[in-house]
């Protein structure tokens, strides 16, 4: 980002001291997050999907997220924000939130793998989501799955 007030993509260099191990068991998704040969041959950067803006004092501020989003009634929400909240539930082992593009307004689906011997508690999840997400981000479906690798996100 070289200009004050202009958005720029946050990309973090991957090195031995700052590794990115990727998404567990999903090399294809991990590879999509890498940017290769950005400044010199064979360098690798992790694409965070975050846009930052720099002010006149060279402070950086979050501006937007360019990764998968879903919207409802004109509001956009990053799927990762919803996934982070759902992932904090004590009965959730893994979660992936993605948009369902075939529905008007694009809404979100949360694919959830439960921790072993933990039951799904929809009432607690609902209350938690309502407490920690803005109303436009609360509209999502929950799909209980045995394995996220078998997930079909073309819904």
Task: Report which secondary-structure segment, H or E, holds 131.
Answer: helix 122-132
Distance CA 21, CA 32 (A): 13
Domains of the chain, first to last? 7-65 (2.30.38), 69-150 (3.30.300.30)
**In the chain, what percentage of residues exceed pLDDT 90?**
22
pLDDT at 155: 46
Distance CA 86, CA 39 (A): 37
Rounded to whole angstroms, what are the CA distances from 113 to 42, 120, 123? 36, 9, 17
Any idea how long the chain is? 155
pLDDT at 59: 87
| CA angle, 48 then 55 then 50, to 5° | 10
- In tens, the pLDDT along 107-155 reads 678 889 999 999 999 999 999 988 988 877 776 789 999 887 655 544 4
pLDDT at 47: 83
Rounded to whole angstroms, what are the CA distances from 111 to 5, 131, 153? 37, 20, 9
Distance CA 42, CA 144 (A): 40
Assign 109 to helix, strand or coil: strand
Distance CA 109, CA 140 (A): 5
With tokens 């209350």, the residue in question is: 127
- pLDDT at residue 68 tops 50: yes
pTM for this model (two decimals): 0.53
Choice among 27-31, 49-53, 76-80, 91-95 with the minimum mean pLDDT: 76-80
Assign 1 a pLDDT band (cuts: 50, 70, 90).
very low
């Amino acid at each position: 980002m070289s200009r004050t007030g202009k958005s720029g993509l946050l990309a973090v260099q991957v090195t031995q001291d700052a590794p990115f191990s990727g998404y567990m068991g999903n090399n294809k998704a991990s590879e999509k997050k890498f940017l290769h040969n950005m400044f010199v041959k064979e360098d690798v950067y992790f694409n965070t999907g975050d846009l930052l803006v720099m002010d006149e004092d060279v402070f950086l501020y979050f501006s937007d997220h360019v990764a998968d989003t879903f919207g409802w009634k004109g509001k956009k929400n990053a799927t990762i924000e919803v996934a982070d909240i759902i992932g904090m539930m004590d009965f959730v082992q893994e979660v992936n939130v993605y948009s369902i593009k075939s529905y008007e307004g694009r809404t979100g689906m949360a694919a959830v793998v439960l921790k072993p011997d933990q039951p799904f508690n929809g009432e607690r999840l609902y209350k938690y989501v309502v407490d920690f997400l803005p109303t436009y981000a609360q509209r999502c479906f929950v799909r209980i799955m045995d394995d996220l690798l078998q997930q079909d996100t073309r819904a």
